[in-house]
Amino acid sequence: YVLDARLGVVPPGVPGELYLGGVQVARGYASRAGLSAERFVADPFGGGGSRLYRTGDLVRWGVGGEIEYLGRTDFQVKLRGQRVELGEVEAVVAAAPGVVHAVCAVVDGGGGQQLVGYVSPGSVDVDVVGEYVAGVLPGYMCPSVWVVTDELVLNSSGKLDRRALPPVVVPEVGFVAPVSRSEVLVAQVFERVLGVSRVGLGESFFLLGGNSLSAMRVAAGVADVFGVSVSVRDVFDAPTVEELA
């Protein structure tokens, strides 16, 4: 089965996780109850206590009925204080118009860690891909740098070889600190809500890991500090310290 996060069947061409079912599926790992609970799940299509095995492989059905391997779902990294599953990002990128293969990696540069999206073939329009990804994923999970290549190298197992990814140099961007009193106070609210040590003047709250729930905390925090009415919509419309101050 190729399923989504809710164990629903995904249509051909749409990335999902590969699950195995049938009488050959084991009951679990010996003496590893935690891992067994994670990998062996109730089979929504069977009965009698049958189970499915989560392979952790990201795949999609091809037009000819073949299964195409796209990557792993369990490559988890920490980016700007947020945990990001690279496989989840890669699945969305791989579903973007024109993309055949996609790999994501975290590199240092540009004043911090950057999420890089590698896509092939070379004819891919990264503006279209970036717009598609931004419409599906939260800002902090969207690649900030794109690399287009004619072909991504496969290893001996036929899987994308992360060690052979083309090198990328991310230009350094200097940190711009808040200056005015209002900018400093708003930055302090951002830092407290996000749990980070500093926030630059032009850094987006949502690219730093903010979401709709934490935006509510920012709105309440800024309103409390300045004694004015601030809505969540205000945070969405002005997501940087400079704009909100």
- Strand ranges for 80-192 from DSSP E: 82-85, 101-109, 112-120, 145-148
Structure confidence by residue, pLDDT tens digits, 36-45: 887 888 888 8
User: Which pLDDT score, from 0 to 100, does residue 106 have?
Assistant: 85
Specify the CATH superfamily of domain 181-237: ACP-like (1.10.1200.10)
Domain ranges in the chain? Answer: 2-72, 76-148, 181-237
Dist. CA 220–CA 189, nearest whole Å = 9
Looking at domain 76-148, its CATH superfamily turns out to be ANL, C-terminal domain (3.30.300.30)
Q: What is the pLDDT of residue 111?
A: 59
> Going by C-beta distance under 8 Å and a sequence separation of 6 or more, which residues neighbour residue 135?
none
Class in CATH terms, 2-72:
mainly beta
Q: Please state, for a pLDDT cut of 70, what percent of the chain lies above it.
A: 94
Average pLDDT over residues 143-165: 80
Residue 182: the pLDDT is 92
CA distances from 3 to 8, 9, 43, 56 (A): 5, 5, 12, 11
Q: What is the mean pLDDT of residues 125-137?
A: 89
